[in-house]
Amino acid sequence: MRIEPASPKVGALVTGLDMTRMTDAEWHQLYQAWLDHQVLVVREQNFTIPQFLAVAERFGKLTPHRVRRTRDAEYPALTRMGVNTRKPDGKVDQAVFARGQGWHTDGPWEVRGVSKATQLYGLEIPSIGGDTWFANMYASHDALPEALRQRLEGVQAEYVYGGRERLGVDLLDPDDRDAPPVLWPVLRTHPETGRRSLYFNPYHFLRFTGMDEAEGNALAEELKARMIQPDAEYHHKWHKHDYVVWDNRCSNHAAAGGYPIDQPRIHWRATILE
């Protein structure tokens, strides 16, 4: 097994490993690399669905995604990304096609527990585009001006699926649309590394608890401008059979788009709670 940085500040590339046959020593080395780099890319994996989900369970507790329509019928903890992208009339369903674009972290709205990690496995990759971008939120925290960092101490943000504009809420079943907001501190301490990160997700953001609306809006805009450090990004260009897992507690990501809508971009996905 070889592990090397994918970029100077976020991501690691792993080769020479079959994740279905990992030894305990290889697993511990891999997990530590994940904590160190926030994102792991493991090349040339060949999973069955049970094997893919078994890998996820080594990271934490599996949970079905709230969007039920993309769950696998036999394995509900598996989400099939990139399927059902067209409406009955044949037109592209933009709510599905554009899902995941814009910088965000997965599951700040998750009422069932802490959204620890997300893993994807690339099955069909378009000829161009379809990349996934990742950003190191430890670096975002460290780049905050000291006065702003002090101001953010103790500030909590509320999140709901789809945020203020309820983007993508139509993808949810009616019973899943009215879950209560979930609160997270804007400055978050990682439970395993002890490092602090900026934790802000404009896509699912609702409000800052106890803050005047105008002040909260201004602060949200400032954090949006500061949340991604250009020197702490990794832009992943997918290969077929890439396995990628990222830490939602200290990284943000975005779907770059830019691929032809008539070409499939299909992944398996699993959501992992602490």
Domain borders along the chain are 2-150+229-273
In three-state secondary structure terms, 196 is: strand
Predicted local confidence at residue 69, as pLDDT = 86
State pTM to two decimals. 0.92
Task: Confirm if 136 and 38 have CB atoms less than 8 A apart.
Answer: yes
Rounded CA separation 80/126 (Å) = 16
Rounded CA separation 269/253 (Å) = 15
One-letter amino acid for residue 113 of the chain = G
Sort strands 12-15 and 39-42 into parallel, antiparallel or unpaired.
Answer: parallel
Q: What string of pLDDT tens digits covers the 274 residues of the chain? A: 999 999 999 999 999 999 999 999 999 999 999 999 999 999 999 999 999 999 999 999 999 988 888 899 999 999 999 886 665 666 666 655 555 568 999 999 999 889 999 999 999 999 999 999 999 999 999 999 999 999 999 999 999 998 888 777 877 878 878 889 999 999 999 999 999 999 999 999 999 999 999 999 999 999 999 999 999 999 999 999 999 999 999 999 999 988 888 888 999 999 999 9
Task: Confirm if 188 and 179 have CB atoms less than 8 A apart.
Answer: no
Name the percent of the chain in helix, strand, coil, to the closest 5.
25, 30, 45
The position carrying tokens 């669905």 is: 49
Predicted local confidence at residue 90, as pLDDT = 62
Query: Degrees (nearest 5) of the Cα angle 67, 255, 169?
Result: 30
Predicted local confidence at residue 136, as pLDDT = 98
Say which residues have a Cβ less than 8 Å from residue 47's Cβ, sequence separation at least 6: 19, 20, 55, 121, 243, 268
For the chain, strand residue ranges (E) read 2-5, 12-15, 39-42, 61-63, 78-81, 115-124, 131-136, 156-159, 182-185, 187-189, 196-198, 205-208, 233-236, 243-247, 251-257, 266-273
Name the residue among 252, 72, 95 with its Cα closest to residue 162. Answer: 95
Between the alpha carbon of residue 152 and those of residues 106, 190, 208, the distances in Å are 22, 16, 11
Correct CATH for 2-150+229-273 of 3.90.1660.10, 3.30.465.10, 3.50.50.100, 3.60.130.10: 3.60.130.10
Predicted local confidence at residue 66, as pLDDT = 87
